[in-house]
């Protein structure tokens, strides 16, 4: 009986280790050693030392052009209101 209990306890303690999947970065590195693995503070990409030929740097996008907006005429000012709580209009 005690050996079965010990075996059960050992099995239950080691089962989470078998359920874990390998890290995603390890599977990506095996698939493509020339994939970027990080980025510097200046924005430059960092590659693995296993990569023999670095990929071409990405072509920068052209700078955005300023949009020309048509200006609408200013809205007409509202008539001055008077009376209690501004409920009546000043009709001059």
- How far, in Å, CA of 19 to CA of 44, rounded? 37
In-domain check, residue 71: no
- How far, in Å, CA of 37 to CA of 57, rounded? 15
In-domain check, residue 42: yes
In-domain check, residue 82: no
In-domain check, residue 87: no
| Phi, psi angles (nearest 5°) of residue 31 | -75, -45
* Pair of tokens at residue 39: 């980025």
pLDDT, tens digit, 9 for 90 and up, residues 60-90: 777 778 777 778 788 887 766 666 776 666 5
Which of 56, 54, 55, 36 is closest to 46 using CA atoms?
36
**Domain count within the chain:** 1
pLDDT, tens digit, 9 for 90 and up, residues 25-68: 655 545 677 888 888 998 888 888 888 888 777 777 777 787 77
Domain that holds residue 29: 17-50
- State pTM to two decimals: 0.32
């Amino acid at each position: 009986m005690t050996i079965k209990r010990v075996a059960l306890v050992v099995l239950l303690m080691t089962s989470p280790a078998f359920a874990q999947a390998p890290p995603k970065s390890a599977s990506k590195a095996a698939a493509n050693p020339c994939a970027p693995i990080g980025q510097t503070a200046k924005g430059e990409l960092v590659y693995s030392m296993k990569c023999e030929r670095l990929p071409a740097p990405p072509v920068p996008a052209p700078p955005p052009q300023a949009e020309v907006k048509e200006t609408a005429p200013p809205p007409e000012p509202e008539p001055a209101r008077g009376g209690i709580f501004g409920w009546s209009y000043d009709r001059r």
